[in-house]
Structure 1
Amino acid sequence: MLLIYTQKITPRIIYVFKHICTHVLGIPIKFTSKIEEFIAHDGAKLSYGKQSLGNEFFIQKVDLLMAQGFSELEIKVQPWDDTVCFFPVPEASDLPFDIFAASFYLLSRYEEYLPHVKDAEGRFPASESLAHQESFLHKPVVDIWAMKFREILVERFPNLKFSDRRYKVCTIVASENTFIFKNKGFLRSFVGLLSDLFQLQLGKVIDRLQVWIRIKDDPHDIFEDLIELIKQHKIYMLFMFQLSDFSLYDRNISHNRIPHRAVIKSVADYAKVGLLMGYYAMDEIRSLRKEKLRMEEIIHVPVEHVMNSKFNLRLPDQYNNLTELEINNDHSMGYPDVPGFRAGTCTPYLFYDINMEVTTPLKVHPYAFNSAVTETMTKTKLKEELARMLLEVKEVKGMFRGVFRNQDFSDYSNKEYYYSLLKQIHEIG
């Protein structure tokens, strides 16, 4: 057990110390603000404050974890061994920076609360982030810092017990449109057929007709192929299906269509299934509740996993809606158009609401790769970037998450390329 002394025990201190020490390193911790108790303690102990009390392990703090709300901060990034850090502190500290304040800044998405320029989709863009501007977006720095912190603690307290982590990989398959031709209704199908003819896409016209008369599977219905991959290689996949009402923004078929429900049920027999939130569900709790109930009616178990289909997180409101509906796992934390670690970590973590200054029960599962980046990166560059990030995650024994779309593996896409990326992530031949 590691005893931690701090003059004032704040919600932010409890949150980030528990994440780094307990969730990442597996060290049981206890807090105290009583100097006598701290001095009398014989085992491993750490003080977090403006000055040390004696010869204990000491980390000098900056003011971030004592504050409330958010304000503009001056941040200077500097090298630390083979990585980077920020919030530097004087040499009296056993670490050259406040690891807990820096981790809190990234995990809480502090910078996303501050004024920033949104992209065309209303999202916080990677270019506005400290990690992108300082060129450490490809590194899970929170986990790297935690592992370095562990090494230093072991030197100081050889008897301190840690739990071991294991490197893991997960692929998320987001299905915004389960089918491209099937069950679209007469008017939509007829308009689609005319559009294909007008654009001289005769191959699509033939495919569409064959799907209609049921002599060919829908090109977007690639789920059996992925399930076969799961069975063959024992890999972990999570499938997200959209069940929104039809609108300008959400174009999937009705949730009542039997083939649509059949696909979801069959996938749920072999893999985890979650909800891909529609455009309105990201803002309106009423729409989110409706979509959640639809999914639960199909899979007959509570919805545990969700993903934002547009990745335009509106923090903290969107996450608070999930918490209110008792949805405990979100998989939207990443940049769809840039590879890297949006929250600086490859470890799932609880979301901290800065507005309310509370740790919520919502677990955030960050992803580092989204197949949408293939539109902006060359094949060689992307494969190199992927290899680099996978190595970074392996070294800290974290979890690498990649996001694909079902249409990536259809005949209308460069499916061999996407399968090669999927196999690179899971290291299968």
Structure 2
Amino acid sequence: MTQISVLLAEPTPRAEQAVRWVLNNLLGCAVRLVSTEDELIASDGAKLHYGDRAVPGVLNIHSSGWLKANGISPFEPPTGSMNEIPVLFPTAEGDLPFDVFAATFYLLSRYEEWSGLPSDVHGRPLTDSLHASRHGYLQRPVVDEWALELKEAWTRFDPTFDPPVRAYQQITTVDLDNGFKYLGRPLWRTMGSTLRDVLRGNRVDVRERLRVLTGRSRDPFLLDEEARSVFNTCSDRVIHFVLSASRGEWDHAVPVDDPAYASALRSYMGPAEIGIHPSYHTSDRPGLAANEIRALQDIIQEPITLSRQHFLRLKVPGTFREMEKLGIREEHSMGIHDRIGFRCGTCTPYPWYDLEQERATELMIHPFTVMDNTLCHKLGLSPEEAIIEVRAAVDRLKRIGGTFTGLWHESFLASTGSNTEWREAILRIIQEARP
């Protein structure tokens, strides 16, 4: 691994974290912090100085001074552009025309969410309130683009600088919000749903329900072999997030201890990883997520280390702190519920930093790019229009060696019913996004 020696003119926990995010997580290099200019100059290999004056013979990134600040308060970073890429903290000094470390820290720390943003009825930040939305870069993984601009500037300064080449990846994730469409429901609920469909004249669902309940057809929400084959052959990782909760207004999944559902979950394992999909109220009811994790672990007989919040009810910092305590290693809720884009400015997984406690953690944040419900219901696209829109996002990520993470639901992947056109569109998106 390429090693970079770094001198921070004014060392702070935030500056150190920003340097590690950019150089280690985004460029794949090892970071060696040094204490003096003499030590930096005497170092072998790549060298970088971060401060408000230049050090001869090394790459200099001019500090805006923002990473010296303590605490959290409302803040609007200055904006600019470089090679038609939006940037934050522009500067006329140094070897890069903006403070890449302060800019990266602002977005990856989710500083604006710590400060407080207007939210919707589900407690999610209003997309139009995000800095990226207000300044027109929501659909760009600008943090990744900044890292590559830094790499280019470094290569011009030192042609021997040779960090690893980023490799494009696809991660396919499926949220199992229901488990089954018809199976696993109490008799009274099945009878009520059947009566409702009869009264509405929905003969297709009435017939389908009867075929499934009498064993003549598969439940349409079961992930079938065709879909699973596409996932497995076209993706670097496949993850299923399982809702393991008592039924409520927003939680409609079959109990995970239902024998048929438990069998289905175990059949998904192997090619696919299993994670928890904490229920709607876990974000405001301490202890609830722990119970749901235990219930799922009892069924699959494996530790649960991956999580994505139901309804994407991600609370900063509460969700991260609770998941960290529960042994979760990867949190996958970082995304936008009503747009295609990058809530935190990156497509690349990175470790969470606790701003209040000024503490680096091992909890990895995994951003996603797009969700099926967004394409269909929030943006009102047809399946064919959705393919075109997602293709543009995937092409952008392929150009930068990024990671495309799609968030799909079993209801959109149903093998029969009204969503079959969406099923075909999603499978085509996954196939086109193949590395």
Q: Which stretch shifts more, 270-279 or 333-342?
A: 270-279
Per the TM alignment, residue 157 of structure 1 is displaced from its structure 2 partner at its CA by 2.1
Per the TM alignment, residue 79 of structure 1 is displaced from its structure 2 partner at its CA by 1.9
SS at 1:359's partner residue? strand
* Distance in 2 (alpha carbons) for counterparts of 1:174 and 1:301: 19
Aligned to 2:380: 377
Q: Give structure 1 stretches of 5+ with no counterpart.
A: none
Q: In the alignment, is residue 391 of structure 1 matched against residue 395 of structure 2?
A: yes
The Cα offsets for residues 123-181 of structure 1, whole Å up to 9 and x where unpaired, read as 11221111111111111101111011111112222233412221111111111101121
* Distance in 2 (alpha carbons) for counterparts of 1:75 and 1:358: 23
Answer whether contact 1:336 1:371 (CA < 8 A) is retained: no
Matches within 5 A, 1:2-401: 2-41=4-43, 43-89=45-91, 91-230=92-231, 236-373=237-374, 374-375=376-377, 376-379=379-382, 381-401=385-405
* Distance in 2 (alpha carbons) for counterparts of 1:324 and 1:247: 25
Per the TM alignment, residue 302 of structure 1 is displaced from its structure 2 partner at its CA by 1.0
SS at 2:239's partner residue? strand
Answer whether contact 1:275 1:307 (CA < 8 A) is retained: yes
Q: Which amino acid aligns with 1:409?
A: L
* Distance in 2 (alpha carbons) for counterparts of 1:191 and 1:109: 45
Q: Give structure 2 stretches of 5+ with no counterpart.
A: none
Per the TM alignment, residue 416 of structure 1 is displaced from its structure 2 partner at its CA by 2.5
SS at 1:85's partner residue? strand
Among all aligned residue pairs of Structure 1 and Structure 2, give the percentage whose two residues are the same amino acid.
27
Aligned to 1:427: 432
Per the TM alignment, residue 320 of structure 1 is displaced from its structure 2 partner at its CA by 0.6
Answer whether contact 2:223 2:413 (CA < 8 A) is retained: yes
Q: Indicate the RMSD between aligned Cα atoms, in angstroms.
A: 1.9
SS at 1:216's partner residue? coil
Q: Which stretch shifts more, 354-363 or 19-28?
A: 19-28
Per the TM alignment, residue 328 of structure 1 is displaced from its structure 2 partner at its CA by 0.4
Q: Which amino acid aligns with 1:72?
A: P
SS at 1:17's partner residue? helix
Matched length: 428
* Distance in 2 (alpha carbons) for counterparts of 1:50 and 1:170: 40
Q: TM-score by structure 2 length?
A: 0.93
Q: TM-score by structure 1 length?
A: 0.94
Answer whether contact 1:68 1:354 (CA < 8 A) is retained: no
* Distance in 1 (alpha carbons) for counterparts of 2:234 and 2:397: 21
SS at 1:384's partner residue? helix
Q: Which amino acid aligns with 1:216?
A: S
* Distance in 1 (alpha carbons) for counterparts of 2:176 and 2:257: 16
Aligned to 1:416: 421
Q: Which stretch shifts more, 67-76 or 285-294?
A: 67-76
SS at 2:292's partner residue? helix
Per the TM alignment, residue 314 of structure 1 is displaced from its structure 2 partner at its CA by 0.6
Answer whether contact 2:335 2:369 (CA < 8 A) is retained: yes
Per the TM alignment, residue 257 of structure 1 is displaced from its structure 2 partner at its CA by 0.8
Q: Which amino acid aligns with 2:426?
A: L
* Distance in 2 (alpha carbons) for counterparts of 1:35 and 1:125: 45
Per the TM alignment, residue 32 of structure 1 is displaced from its structure 2 partner at its CA by 2.3
Q: Which amino acid aligns with 2:27?
A: L
